[in-house]
Amino acid sequence: MIQKLMKPYIALFVLLFSCSSFGVIELLEFNTETEKERYRTLIDELRCPKCQNQNLSDSDSQIAIDLRQKVRDLIDEGKNDEEIKTHLVARYGDFVLYRPEVKDVTFLLWYGPAGLLFIGVIVVIFVIRRNKQDNSSSPDGFSSEEERQAKIKQLMNKNSEK
């Protein structure tokens, strides 16, 4: 009796949770192992224009699928890696590369972090030197023992006059 009642629910459960099995699996055949390795390397180095922070191999967007096929077609045409990258950069811009070339436009991208680190080190050195100079004088604001003694005498004279 319970089994008869459960059959529709089991069928519904299987139907709902089997949707994930409809994912696309690309089965690409290559002529040589070298081409397969080049393809893998290229799709790992190229960024998906839609997903922005995923490479082509990780993205399931339609444009990533199309770009993987384009990379495959360009490999079949005998293009080298630089020609393939140049072709994709011409169409999608430097953004498609995870490591864009150093140009006037990407100069800040490449050397900005090093410049900020350099500025930070300079600021830290400046602050440390300033603190050392401030600490070289005594904590009560006197720069020498003689001034301290003179101030003590002055205070003692005021107290004795009262």
Model-level pTM?
0.53
- Domain co-membership, 86 together with 44: yes
- Domain co-membership, 31 together with 85: yes
Please give the Cα distance from 94 to 110 (Å, whole number).
13
Does residue 145 lie within any of the structural domains?
Answer: no
Nearest to 30 by CA among 87, 59, 70, 72: 72
Sign of the dihedral through C-alpha 119, 123, 124, 128? positive
- Domain co-membership, 90 together with 106: no
Q: Are 54 and 90 in contact (CB under 8 A)?
A: no
Does residue 86 lie within any of the structural domains?
Answer: yes
- Domain co-membership, 91 together with 38: yes
**Best-predicted range by mean pLDDT (30-39, 58-67, 115-124, 153-162):** 115-124
Does residue 144 lie within any of the structural domains?
Answer: no
Does residue 61 lie within any of the structural domains?
Answer: yes
- Domain co-membership, 57 together with 90: yes
What is the longest distance spanned by two Cα atoms in the chain?
Answer: 111
Return all residues near 60 (Cβ < 8 A) that are at least 6 apart: 23, 24
Name residue, tokens 């995870």.
Answer: 98
Please give the Cα distance from 14 to 144 (Å, whole number).
87
What pLDDT sits at residue 121? 96
- Domain co-membership, 63 together with 32: yes
What number of other Cβ atoms are within 10 A of residue 129's Cβ?
10
Number of domains the chain contains = 2
Domain with 67, as residue range(s), is 27-96
Please provide the average confidence, as pLDDT, over all residues in the chain.
80
98-154 pLDDT per residue, tens:
777 777 877 887 889 999 999 999 999 999 998 887 766 555 555 577 777 888 888
What are the backbone angles phi and psi of residue 47, rounded to the nearest 5°? Answer: -95, 145
CATH number for 42: 1.10.8.640
